[in-house]
Amino acid sequence: MPVADFSGKRGLVLGVANKRSIAWAIARRLAEGGAELAFTYQGERIESGVRDLADTVGSKLVTECDVRSDEDVERVVREVGEAFDGRLDLVVHSVAYAAAEDLEGRFTDTPRERFWLAIDVSAYSLVAVARAAEPLLEQSDGASIVTMTYLGGERAVPHYNVMGVAKATLDASVRYLAWDLGQKGIRVNAISAGPVRTLAARSIAGFPTMEAIVEERSPLRRHITADDVAGAAAYLLSDDARNVTASTLYVDSGYHAMGM
């Protein structure tokens, strides 16, 4: 399929963990279109893998980022600004976390501190990044931010638990950020993907069941790949979507429209 043109565009990608990551599929698509990219990683354990992936698309900036720290987010954005001459066109936010024990059993039993941890990492991090990057994004002629959400933020999905609450917070944040930043020409959208076979998905109890149900009951009756999500993200990040903001694009074979 034709690759969207991102020649001359500069982007920041948060959330690549390995070659199976949705964030990496999106980054690869942007790079194929000519975008120049910077990457963040979380923790020394995955640093070398992220650096190796970034090297394959010619990225020269790979830096650690703890999204729970405003200071760290601001440092990362400063580094990006220096590398990209004070302008940023694209932000891919694919960051989420909940403790594994909170993705099984009852949502009711989620302890307070882990409830706030999930929301901090999975939702507030988008706000922190958008705020820090705003001065760079407003230098672009049509900047775009895309984040990853899921149907569990709208409906109760067994075992998704506190992550569903975090995604609901993320969904609302997208709308409010879109309003705040729209007057500067900065668009903010979300992609709600069906179950994708990533390493992170394996931490969700019952993931194979989720995948099987989507494949059985969605109108298209097929599962979702990271490349499917990447194609949708490329559209939202491209100039073709210049009048699309505050929106959620579903990439789930139509499952979200079904009643049972």
Is there a catalytic annotation at residue 235?
A: no
189-199 residue pLDDT tens:
999 999 886 65
Q: What integer pLDDT is reported at residue 206 of this predicted model?
A: 65
* % of residues, the chain, pLDDT over 90: 87
Residue 214 pLDDT grade (very low, low, confident, very high; cuts 50, 70, 90): confident
Q: Is the dihedral of CA 199, 203, 190, 87 positive or negative?
A: negative
Q: What integer pLDDT is reported at residue 226 of this predicted model?
A: 95
CATH code of the domain occupying 10-254: 3.40.50.720
Q: What integer pLDDT is reported at residue 205 of this predicted model?
A: 60
* Amino acid at the residue 89: D
CA angle 96, 98, 101 (to 5 degrees): 155
Q: What integer pLDDT is reported at residue 210 of this predicted model?
A: 74
Is there a catalytic annotation at residue 160?
A: yes
Q: What integer pLDDT is reported at residue 212 of this predicted model?
A: 81
Task: Provide the pairing of β-strand 90-93 with 36-41.
Answer: unpaired
207 has pLDDT over 90 = no
Residue whose C-alpha is closest to residue 223's, from 236, 233, 234, 208: 208
154 has pLDDT over 60 = yes
Q: What integer pLDDT is reported at residue 6 of this predicted model?
A: 98
Residue 146 pLDDT grade (very low, low, confident, very high; cuts 50, 70, 90): very high
pTM: 0.95
Dump strand ranges (E) for 90-166: 90-93, 144-149
209 has pLDDT over 80 = no
Segment among 88-97, 127-136, 204-213, 243-252 with least mean pLDDT:
204-213
177 has pLDDT over 60 = yes
Helix (H) or strand (E) holding 213: helix 207-217
Q: What integer pLDDT is reported at residue 75 of this predicted model?
A: 98
Choose the catalytic residue: 97, 124, 160, 255: 160
Instruction: Give CA–CA dist 39/59, Å, rounded.
Output: 8
Q: What is the CA radius of gyration of the chain?
A: 17
Q: What integer pLDDT is reported at residue 213 of this predicted model?
A: 85
Instruction: Give CA–CA dist 149/175, Å, rounded.
Output: 13
Instruction: Give CA–CA dist 250/195, Å, rounded.
Output: 12
Residue with tokens 């390995």: 18
Q: What does the pLDDT average to over 136-162?
A: 96
Choose the catalytic residue: 41, 97, 124, 150: 150
Q: What integer pLDDT is reported at residue 238 of this predicted model?
A: 98
Running DSSP on this structure, what letter comes out for residue 234? H
User: Structural domain boundaries of the chain?
Assistant: 10-254
10-62 residue pLDDT tens:
999 999 999 999 999 999 999 999 999 999 999 999 999 999 999 999 998 99
Q: What integer pLDDT is reported at residue 231 of this predicted model?
A: 98
